[in-house]
Amino acid sequence: MNRYKSLFTALAAVVLGLLAGAVFMALSGSNPVAGFYYLFRGGLMNLERIGNTLASATTLIFTGLAVAFSFKTGLFNIGASGQMLMGGLTATAIGLSVQMPRIVLLPLIVLAAASAGALWAAIPGFLKARFNVHEVVATIMMNWIAYWTVYYTIPAYFKGTFLETESRRIPALASFRAEWLTNIFRGSYINMGIFLAAAAVVVIAIILDKTTLGFELKAVGFNRHAAEYAGIHVPKNIVLSMSISGFLAGLAGATYYLGYAVNMQIGVVPSAGIDGIAVALLGANSPWGVAASSVFFGILHSGKGFMNAMTKVPPEIGDTIIAIIIYFAATGVLFTRLWERLTRKRSKEA
């Protein structure tokens, strides 16, 4: 029953978000039906578009899992953007400066980027565990420290050939794009990150549901004091949970900057870090739910350009819809109450 309730809440948020999107499309003088038709068509109409949708979903799966994992331990990792930036910076640095066979290089990049993300998240985790500093504030600060670190490091050491504001192009050797995969999907952005993301969904599901570690982490999330009374080392679990969360966000950085993109630009906070919150909320913090909602948001991301080309609707409608969905997911209690009222009535009749 609980699962239906969260599904109902998620669907209600999506429907209301799409409805609000329709209103804004109409306000901007376009036909909402045509707008949505081209939006979804743009995300799904051919193999290249589907590849792009999956490529967008790859990043969102990682950041969504990162946020969902921290939620399970009762922590709010709003710093996925910063952890993603640090993972991306580490990956870019290695990709641009280390020469070695690809079979060694790619795993090295993955591990280094994930560790950078984990370290960036472990700092707020430690501050929370040791000094009770609120992790939301600490991760926001860490985001901006990461932003400025990238802002000054890229031009200083990895400056692009033409522009000061981006790094050099990542060599094919260090890229997550694979020729055979790109060929199947007719030249889309899809990259091997999608396999990593799929593996991450399974591994996180197993950790949460089948291991002692997952049990302890969730216990801390449900009731910190009860967990402590049961002999669980709470501070250790807080740091560990944040580190795993950052590890996932670091993977998002590696696969985004070395797979989806071809270089790293400065002065941009990756929106996937914040979209991850929407993904996690909509997926009710379950790894499978995260995967499903990532694909949905992936369609919105890759379809908005096509919609903009075919209609007059500005592409920002995609992000507007996602933002409104978050708002309705946050106010989910409205729909939960509605669901309870509906089901109660039915059980009375029966």
Partner 1 sequence: MQTLALIFPYAVAFTVPLLAASLGGLFSERSGVVNIGLEGLMVSGSFTCAVVASRMETVLGPGHPGALWLGLGAAVVVGALFSLLHAFASISLKANQVISGTAINMIAGSLTVFLARTMTGSGNVRIVLGFIPSDIPVLSDIPILGALFFTKTYATTWLTAAILALAWFVIYKTPFGLRLRACGEHPQTADAAGINVYRMRYIAVSLSGALAGLAGGIILVTYSGEFNGSVAGLGFLALAALIFGQWNPLGILGATAFFGFAATIANVSQVIPQFSRIPGLLLKAFPYVVTLIALVLFSKSSQAPRAAGEPYDQGKR
Neighbours of 268 (CB within 10 A): 14
**Contacting range for partner 1; rule: CB under 8 A; set: 49-57, 83-91, 233-241, 314-322:** 314-322
Nearer Cβ to partner 1, position 198 or 330? 330
18 touching partner 1, by CB under 8 A: no
Return d(Cα 96, Cα 154) in angstroms, integer: 11
> Do 62 and 200 contact (CB within 8 A), yes or no?
yes
Nearest approach, Cβ of residue 255 and partner 1 (Å): 23
For residue 171, what are its two tokens? 């060599």
Distance between CA 140 and CA 77 in Å, rounded?
9
Please pick, from the candidates 2, 99, 132, 212, the single residue that binds partner 1 as defined by CB under 8 A. Answer: 132
In whole angstroms, the minimum distance from the beta carbon of 106 to partner 1 comes to 29
> Residue 153 or residue 182: which is nearer to partner 1 going by CB?
153
Q: Give φ, ψ of 159 to 5 degrees.
A: -55, 140
Residue number, 38 or 185, with CB nearest to partner 1: 38
Cβ partners under 8 Å of residue 115, min gap 6: 90, 247, 250
Q: Token digits for 138? A: 């600490």
Rounded to whole angstroms, the Cα distance separating 79 from 139 reads: 5
Closer CB to partner 1, 74 or 214, in the complex:
74
CB 121, min distance to partner 1, A: 14
C-alpha–C-alpha distance, residues 193 and 251, integer Å = 8
76 binds partner 1 (CB under 8 A): yes
How many other CB atoms sit within 10 Å of the CB of residue 179? Answer: 8
Does residue 85 bind partner 1 (CB under 8 A)? no
- Cβ 294 to partner 1 shortest distance, Å: 17
Contacting partner 1 (CB under 8 A), which of 5, 26, 28, 98? 28
Residue 8 lies near partner 1 (rule: CB under 8 A): no
Binding mask 321-350 for partner 1 (x = CB under 8 A): -xxx-xx-xxxxxx----------------
Provide the total of helices (H) and of strands (E) in the chain, helices listed first: 15, 0
**Residue recorded with tokens 């919609």:** 307
- Residue of 31, 153, 165, 343 interacting with partner 1 (CB under 8 A): 153
Q: How far apart are CA 43 and CA 313, in angstroms?
A: 16
In the region spanning residues 241 to 280, those forming contacts with partner 1, defined by CB under 8 A, are: 269, 274, 277-278
- Gyration radius from the chain CA atoms: 21
> At closest approach, how far in Å is the CB of 181 from partner 1?
31
Provide the H-helix boundaries in the chain. Answer: 2-27, 32-44, 47-72, 80-97, 102-131, 135-157, 179-184, 193-210, 212-222, 224-229, 234-255, 271-282, 287-310, 316-330, 333-349
Length of the chain: 350
Give yes or no for residue 26 binding partner 1 (CB under 8 A). no
Of 19 and 108, CB closest to partner 1: 19
Q: Is 96 near partner 1 (CB under 8 A)?
A: no
Give the footprint of partner 1 on this chain (CB under 8 A). Answer: 24, 27-29, 76, 78, 127, 131-134, 136-138, 140-145, 147-149, 151-153, 269, 274, 277-278, 281, 314, 316-320, 322-324, 326-327, 329-334
